[in-house]
Amino acid sequence: MFAVSALALSSVFSAAGVASAATLPSLTFNKQIAPIIYNNCASCHRPGEAAPFSLLSYSDVAKKGKLIAAVTASHYMPPWKAEPTSYSFKDERRLTESQIAMIAAWVKEGMPEGNPSDAPQLPTFKSGWMLGEPDLVVELPAAFHIPAEGADIYRNIALPLGLTEDKWLTAVDMKPTARSVVHHVLYFADPSGKAHLRKDGDEPGFPGMTAGNAPIQLGGWALGAQPHKEPDGLALRLPKGSDFIIQYHFHPTGKAEAEKALVGFYFAKEAPRRTLMSLQLPPTYGLFSGLDIAPNTKDYVLKDSYVLPADMDAVSVGAHAHYIAKEMKMTATLPSGEVKTLLWIKDWDFAWQDRYYFDHFVTLPKGTRIDGEVHWDNTTDNPKNPSNPTIRVTWGEQSKDEMGSVFLQGVPHDEADLSLLRNDYGKHQNETMNARIKSDPAFMKKLQALLAQ
């Protein structure tokens, strides 16, 4: 009802330019706007969360009214980079066109507060952990200090967890203390339990991007990303005695900060019946794809394809790259020839990395070809380009370097196909690496230098 009248309202405004608000049914904060803000904005825009100001009261919202109308119209807020694709995503943070129009119309009308009896209840949030109280909370043993200035820092900080039995991890969440400089983190487990013994200087942890070769990848966290529990009882194995490693990417902001996060772990009661695995296109964030972007290149593309050797159920999709990436896409060409889009990000933003979970598992039959592509815009037209004039950009860990791939997380449709899928995708990774070594004899040297950094 409201949706229709608000749309009509906004078109009256735009058609007539001026309209007498008094003669039209009036939109108020209490009646129409507060529910939109509480349901779509307040989870981040409240004390202690990622957003820089709260949007919980009439005056909070009215003070920012014009800006709110602008950032909702441009789809900058709520942050959600994935376009609608062939399959719907869970917890999609996307306002409807009529909600956006309602906000615009309300701001034009002078932002009336309305009748207090219409005001909805303030939203309530669980304990501060978005997924509820964790099964285990661990604090970093000591603070890591990030200077005010300087290059980006990759730092691996390991925590001994003291687990005396294997656990099945359904989710990890963390509360960084230096939120403004933590760009993203990746999580790893080191089953040897030795990573926390590694020292490098006075600060906790050690540098580099391999997490000390910790073999188990456990996802990550980035500004704007919501922690998710793996759906349907799925979980990742965390072997007993493991160290948990947080690989931080810090980006100094002009103010010195100290990071001493709390990390919350959520465990499944029992082992899952199906095993999660991940396909990356191209593998290893494009490390073996010869990424080399000349200055002032408008559209540099990396593409990769992989054909499924068995049926797979897709659970989620995501992407990773640095600042100058522009567009990412993943499609599935079914054996029938039909093309489905799994992920499409038209306007990549490094600040908003998220993982997109499908509403329902998407069954991709054996023989489905998965195509991934990542585009970069290395011109000064790209407002996110950190270099002006533009420079040659190659693969690396600093933000002015690039890397990039799209990924698909899923389970074998039939668990019996797990090793077939794993081995076959492993073969794809090896082929990509071997092709690079063949075409670039100096590659192994470069790789060693990168890994030693």
Q: Is 123 helix (H, G, I), strand (E, B) or coil?
A: coil
Evaluate whether 429 touches 423 at the Cβ level (below 8 Å): no
Tell me how far apart the alpha carbons of residues 303 and 404 are, in angstroms, rounded to a whole number.
10
Tell me how far apart the alpha carbons of residues 195 and 186 are, in angstroms, rounded to a whole number.
15
The whole-angstrom distance between residue 294's C-alpha and the CA centroid of its chain comes to 27
Q: Residue 71 or 277: which CB sits closer to ligand HEC?
A: 71
39's tokens: 């349901």
Q: Is the peptide bond before 282 cis (omega within 30 degrees of 0)?
A: yes
Q: Residue 95 or 330: which CB sits closer to ligand HEC?
A: 95
Tell me how far apart the alpha carbons of residues 358 and 218 are, in angstroms, rounded to a whole number.
19
Residue 49 φ/ψ, nearest 5 degrees: -105, 180
Contacts of 185 (CB under 8 A, 6+ apart): 174, 176, 220, 221, 222, 246, 247, 248, 249
**Chain positions contacting ligand HEC, by CB under 6 A:** 40-41, 43-45, 50-52, 64, 67-68, 71-72, 77-79, 93, 95, 224, 351
Q: Residue 117 or 124: which CB sits closer to ligand HEC?
A: 124
Q: Residue 12 or 71: which CB sits closer to ligand HEC?
A: 71
Minimum Å distance from CB 33 to ligand HEC?
10
Q: What angle do CA 352, 334, 336 make, to 5 degrees?
A: 155
Minimum Å distance from CB 219 to ligand HEC?
17
> What's the distance, Cα to Cα, between the start and end of the chain in Å?
60
Residue 348 φ/ψ, nearest 5 degrees: -55, 140
Minimum Å distance from CB 75 to ligand HEC?
10
Q: Is the peptide bond before 389 cis (omega within 30 degrees of 0)?
A: yes
Q: Residue 42 or 161: which CB sits closer to ligand HEC?
A: 42
Minimum Å distance from CB 119 to ligand HEC?
18
Q: Residue 72 or 390: which CB sits closer to ligand HEC?
A: 72
Q: Residue 71 or 420: which CB sits closer to ligand HEC?
A: 71
Contacts of 33 (CB under 8 A, 6+ apart): 27, 61, 102, 103, 106
Which residues on neighbouring strands pair with residue 343, listed in sequence order? 330
Let me know if 98 is exposed, middle or buried by CB neighbors in 10 A (0-12, 13-18, 19+): middle
Output DSSP code: residue 61. H
Residue 346 φ/ψ, nearest 5 degrees: -90, -25
Q: Residue 67 or 122: which CB sits closer to ligand HEC?
A: 67
Q: Residue 77 or 321: which CB sits closer to ligand HEC?
A: 77
Minimum Å distance from CB 68 to ligand HEC?
4
